[in-house]
Amino acid sequence: MKNGVRIFLSVVSLVMFFSCSKIDVKKPEGFAEIRGSNAYSAISPEGVRYNIRYVKNYPQKELLFWKEALKNHMQDSGYMLVKEDTFSAASKSGAYFEWGAPFGSQNYIYLTAIIIYDREIVIAEAAGEVNLVSQYRNALLESIKTIKLN
């Protein structure tokens, strides 16, 4: 019986391993990256963080629904909307926001982007002090446009 359980668990583990989607993205210029099977992280020498992950698209909705949900949540949480735009990544539509947030005597930018795949939502985030994020803004936006979920 123990061998049967081990075989069953091994098969389930393999199916889960091979069925997990992976994030593919071009590293933003000037960042060092850390890759994981279900997430992606990168950091600039000055400490600007860039993270990508995905979650289930549940309830399964289109970009417009999730864009409004994210916008409402962030504004209700006290973030100030600085910029909002749409983009395309791997033939999928996406939206990004730049949020302002004071912290102590400094101002921070929190960039959030979402891309809807049928069953998953890719979430990209970058955060740091305003001047630093501004320095890397173009590299971050170019990277976001290269996100693919395999």
37 band by pLDDT with thresholds 50, 70 and 90: low
Domain ranges of the chain: 21-149
Return the pLDDT at 17. 39
Q: Which residue has the higher pLDDT, 70 or 14?
A: 70
Pairing of strands 120-129, 23-24: unpaired
57 against 17, higher pLDDT: 57
Backbone angles phi and psi of 141, in degrees to 5: -65, -40
> Domain 21-149: what homologous superfamily?
Mog1/PsbP, alpha/beta/alpha sandwich (3.40.1000.10)
Q: How far is CA 54 from CA 14, 16, 39, 73, 146, in A?
A: 20, 16, 7, 18, 15
User: Which run of H or E residues covers position 122?
Assistant: strand 120-129
- pLDDT tens digits, residue range 70-86? 999 999 999 999 999 99
Query: Which residue in the block uniquely carries the two structure tokens 């698209």?
Result: 57
- 33 phi and psi, to 5 degrees? -110, 155
